[in-house]
Amino acid sequence: MRLTHYLTGAELTGTETAALLRRARELKAAPLHSRALAGASVALIFERPSTRTRVSFEVGVSELGGHPVILRGEEMQLSRGESLRDTALVLSRHVAAIGIRTGPDETVEELAAHASVPVINLLTRDHHPCQALADLLTLDEEFGHLDGLKLAYVGDGNNVARSLAIVGARVGVTVAVAAPPGHQLDPVAGAILTDDPYEAVAGANAVYTDVWVSMNDAPETAAARREALAPYRLDGRLLAAAAPGAIALHCLPAHPGEEITEEVLYGERQRIWNQAENRRHAQKALLERLISGPPA
């Protein structure tokens, strides 16, 4: 079987991604049905904080019959200078897959280059593909299809925006990203880039936002970011300018009053807490796909 990593979301085709999302819906309906990881372990390295990613992967691996090995970066020999290459070689002798949350994308690329098991990006500075899978699952549940939908992302053109644009394009979702100058997403095939939030949300089936200061951003840039991004807050007025029936999404953690209002975060159009749950179902389908291979 060909070794497939999941570092940016571009590693699976649109057809493969759509199949994975169908499988995620099956797994959501019957969470203990698959024992795809029986007897296997999965290493999950965290060099940055996490609530959702850690819990959803840890519980998801257990539900698949496997054993999650949580590794905090500062407790590993990596923190004392052991190479990524040696870490990959050793972990590959013990586990069926390796997940890592870190800063530079080069770190996950280096780990993947030397691992003989699949490596999964649990968030880097530039990518968060597992989040995008859960977000697309949430859209699919809401609308019954993905092809032809429009998702507006309003705020910082960050890792979450990039992964939505990359993975969304694969399954026929048009992603429009509205961000101020200096915080815009670099071009992604198929994505619409603008600095006007109202242009982005026009006709959109979902309006998405994320924090204005990410884990891998320099803390000293926080004040300037908040000032530049203030006109991009997801509030009731912006949501009302989207298509009728549009839903509000946020990958969490949220900062109510900053990038999203409480009214939207807890309002009737949000599907944010479903999104958080869907991390587990989407990632279980991903683990099955990467470890067991494509369905026969």
Residues noted as catalytic: 101, 128, 131, 210, 251, 279
Which does residue 214 bind out of ligand NVA, ligand CP, none, counting CB within 5 to 8 angstroms by kind? ligand NVA
Measured from the CB atom, is 212 or 291 closer to ligand NVA?
212
Residues that bind ligand NVA (CB under 6 A): 123, 158-160, 210-211, 214-216, 251
Determine the Cα–Cα distance for residues 206 and 249; give it in Å rounded to an integer: 7
For residue 131, state whether it binds ligand CP (rule: CB under 6 A): yes
For residue 278, state whether it binds ligand CP (rule: CB under 6 A): no
For residue 50, state whether it binds ligand CP (rule: CB under 6 A): yes
Measured from the CB atom, is 158 or 174 closer to ligand CP?
158
3-class SS of residue 105: helix
Percentages helix, strand, coil for the chain, rounded to the nearest 5?
45, 15, 40
Determine the Cα–Cα distance for residues 139 and 41; give it in Å rounded to an integer: 31
Measured from the CB atom, is 134 or 291 closer to ligand NVA?
134
Determine the Cα–Cα distance for residues 248 and 269; give it in Å rounded to an integer: 6
Determine the Cα–Cα distance for residues 181 and 155; give it in Å rounded to an integer: 11
**Residue from 13, 51, 79, 221 binding ligand CP (CB under 6 A):** 51
For residue 15, state whether it binds ligand CP (rule: CB under 6 A): no
Which does residue 211 bind out of ligand NVA, ligand CP, none, counting CB within 5 to 8 angstroms by kind? ligand NVA
Measured from the CB atom, is 279 or 281 closer to ligand NVA?
279
Task: Determine the residue type at 90.
Answer: V
Quote the longest CA-to-CA distance of the chain: 54
For residue 53, state whether it binds ligand CP (rule: CB under 6 A): yes
For residue 94, the tally of other CB atoms under 10 A from its CB is 12
Which does residue 275 bind out of ligand CP, ligand NVA, none, counting CB within 5 to 8 angstroms by kind? none
Contact assessment for residue 260 and residue 156, using Cβ atoms and an 8 Å cutoff: no
Measured from the CB atom, is 269 or 280 closer to ligand CP?
280
Taking alpha carbons only, the member of 284, 274, 277, 250 closest to residue 120 is: 284
For the bound state, the minimum distance from the C-beta of residue 125 to ligand NVA, rounded and expressed in Å, comes to 7
For residue 252, state whether it binds ligand CP (rule: CB under 6 A): yes
Q: Cα 39 from chain centroid?
A: 27
Determine the Cα–Cα distance for residues 42 and 288; give it in Å rounded to an integer: 12
Which does residue 51 bind out of ligand CP, ligand NVA, none, counting CB within 5 to 8 angstroms by kind? ligand CP
Q: Which residue is nearest to ligand CP (CB)?
A: 53
Burial of 227 (0-12, 13-18, 19+ CB in 10 A): exposed
| Range in contact with ligand CP (rule: CB under 6 A) among 17-25, 51-59, 182-190, 200-208 | 51-59
Taking alpha carbons only, the member of 130, 121, 138 closest to residue 25 is: 138
Chain residues binding ligand CP by CB under 6 A are 50-53, 123, 131, 251-253
